[in-house]
Structure 1
Amino acid sequence: MEIVLSKILSEIRHQEAKLSSQMVQTVDEAYQMTLFLNDMLCIIKAKVLQGNFINEQQEIDFFKNIKPQVLGKLIYYNKVFRIETTCPVSNGRLHQNYFENQLKVLKSEYKESISNEDFYRYYRAGRTDRDHKYFRLGQINYHDGLKSGVFEIDLSFSTYYDNKVAHIIANELLYTYLLTKINPDENPDTILINGDINKDITWTNSQNALIELIYALYASNSVAHGKIGIRKLALIFRILFRTPLNDIHHAFHRMKTRSGSRTAFLDQLKFSLEEYMDKDL
């Protein structure tokens, strides 16, 4: 059984780009993405239930990296749909207060349910030494005093901790979404004034490659003399290329400790540019 993360992310990006170009209302996009991701999750679940994982590492990779990306996005878009459909007005102070209160609720949930847990620190540190306990079926240790939500999940398709990773991903996406609602200066429509011009511009390399480029521009103060934050810079690239950039800080920390060159994409850029220059000689 093989479920490829890059293919899944590509399908999600394609659907997001398609809906963004067709629909004006955020609520419509959120609803359609919720349906799309729910169907995708059902298809993936059927594959998992039908076939066995080739080895332990494939199982860990699925529950640590693949399923949480789909479930995290599903949680995110469903939450956006609920937020948009219960918003009392379309603008004004009441509108501002509504989204500010939603951000407070999100931060409160983050403190109570995510950031204070040992698992969150484990995941954020990019550790792998307990992956065999956290991301394999049938490895749940009830002596850890897990929250009662563990009894509500399908244990044939969840290790419990994959759900936690999904909520971390959803939380970060919601945080960015709410900031764009609260701060007009960070609204996608004002960052890139004419979205129609950019709808055909897509990022065709890996997500890690784009994150590497963003951090390089940030570290070199190449954009706005370094006065723009990494989160806003990432948001601009996410909107420009219509591609999700999940958990950029975690991805960056993984780059710092990866084997071989830590700047693989930048090295490739240099090589490609020099090769292109040599063609004109």
Structure 2
Amino acid sequence: MEILLRKILSQIRLQEDRLSSQMIGTADEAYQMTLFLKELLFKIKADVLQAGFKNEQQEIEFFKNIKPQILGKLIYYNKVFRIETTCPVSNGRMHLSYYENQLKALKSEYKESICNEDFYRYYRADRTDRDQTYFRLGQINYHDGLKSSVFEIDLSFSTYYDNKIAHIIANELLYTYLLTKINPEDNPDTISINGDANKDLSWTNSQNALIELIYALYVSNSISYGKIGIRKLALIFQVLFRTPLNNIHHAFHRMKTRAGSRTAFLDQLKISLEEYMDKDL
């Protein structure tokens, strides 16, 4: 399943890079990505319904980590398309106010319907003890008083909670996008890491590894003499590698209390570099 996830993410990045290199408008790019992701999800759905899953763990992995990545970006690009095609003006105070209101609406949605849910806390804590309930088909407990959207999804291809993760991913991407519209200094175009410049760039290690690296650079004052905030630094890496990062503060606090080395990725970096140096001796 990990190989499948990497393959899917690679397909998505290639399409994003292809469209980005064409220098088309944001709305057109979002529209084309929506069509691409819709078709990709349709194909994967057909494959899953035909072949099924080899075992329980494969089913959980698919609905927890693979499908939400595709659906999350599909929801995100569709939202971007709707936002861009309803923006009243192309610049000025009204333009800025429009995106600020979009950000307020996103934060309101987060407070009212996401962060207060038990499942959100479960997902953010990287727990696995209820995965069999949340990420297996036919395990929905209607006594939990679920939202009516549960009746609008295809239960042969959804556990309901995979949709909830997809919306979390979409909202995180949208949050970053709106920040770049509101704060020009955070815009990827102004830091020259969009388009062909990052065409072949992708983060292929874990999300925690990237967060560990970001914090190490931040606390060591290695970038801009430490004058850049952790939020903006994380934003730059998200844009650079086109990958969403979950709540980096929660992830960092989990690192401080994890078993074994608290700097596992940095330790491995040191080992890999020393091994590479030894090859030249």
Name the TM-score, length of structure 1 as normaliser: 0.90
Map of 2:227 onto structure 1: 227
Q: 8-17 or 86-95: which moved more?
A: 8-17
Gapped runs of 5+ residues in structure 2? Answer: none
- Hey, what's the Cα distance between the residues in 2 that align with 1:119 and 1:170? 16
- Hey, what's the Cα distance between the residues in 2 that align with 1:248 and 1:13? 22
Letter in 2 for 1:151: F
Letter in 2 for 1:101: N
Q: CA deviation at 1:263?
A: 3.6
Letter in 2 for 1:38: K
Map of 2:60 onto structure 1: 60
- Hey, what's the Cα distance between the residues in 2 that align with 1:227 and 1:46? 50
**Aligned-pair RMSD on alpha carbons?**
2.3
- Hey, what's the Cα distance between the residues in 2 that align with 1:65 and 1:253? 22
Asked if the contact 2:17/2:196 (under 8 Å) is kept, the reply is: no
Q: CA deviation at 1:254?
A: 6.5
**Counterparts in 2 of 1:1-40, with a 5 A limit?**
4-40=4-40
Q: CA deviation at 1:255?
A: 5.5
Map of 2:69 onto structure 1: 69
Q: CA deviation at 1:224?
A: 2.6
Name the TM-score, length of structure 2 as normaliser: 0.90
Asked if the contact 1:13/1:244 (under 8 Å) is kept, the reply is: no
Instruction: Confirm whether residue 151 of structure 1 aligns to residue 162 of structure 2.
Output: no
**Counterparts in 2 of 1:1-281, with a 5 A limit?**
4-192=4-192, 195=194, 198-203=197-202, 205-208=204-207, 209-241=209-241, 243-247=242-246, 249=248, 261-281=261-281
Letter in 2 for 1:57: Q
Q: CA 1:195 to 1:219, structure 2 compared with 1: closer, same or farther past 3 Å?
A: same
The 3-state SS of whatever aligns with 2:139 is coil
Asked if the contact 1:207/1:245 (under 8 Å) is kept, the reply is: no
Q: CA 1:35 to 1:254, structure 2 compared with 1: closer, same or farther past 3 Å?
A: farther
Q: CA 1:240 to 1:172, structure 2 compared with 1: closer, same or farther past 3 Å?
A: closer
Q: CA deviation at 1:279?
A: 4.1
Q: CA 1:184 to 1:70, structure 2 compared with 1: closer, same or farther past 3 Å?
A: same
Q: CA deviation at 1:220?
A: 2.6
- Hey, what's the Cα distance between the residues in 1 that align with 2:266 and 2:206? 14
- Hey, what's the Cα distance between the residues in 1 that align with 2:262 and 2:7? 24
- Hey, what's the Cα distance between the residues in 1 that align with 2:5 and 2:254? 17
The 3-state SS of whatever aligns with 1:4 is helix
Letter in 2 for 1:12: I
Asked if the contact 2:203/2:243 (under 8 Å) is kept, the reply is: no
Letter in 2 for 1:53: F
Asked if the contact 2:64/2:135 (under 8 Å) is kept, the reply is: yes
Q: CA deviation at 1:140?
A: 0.6
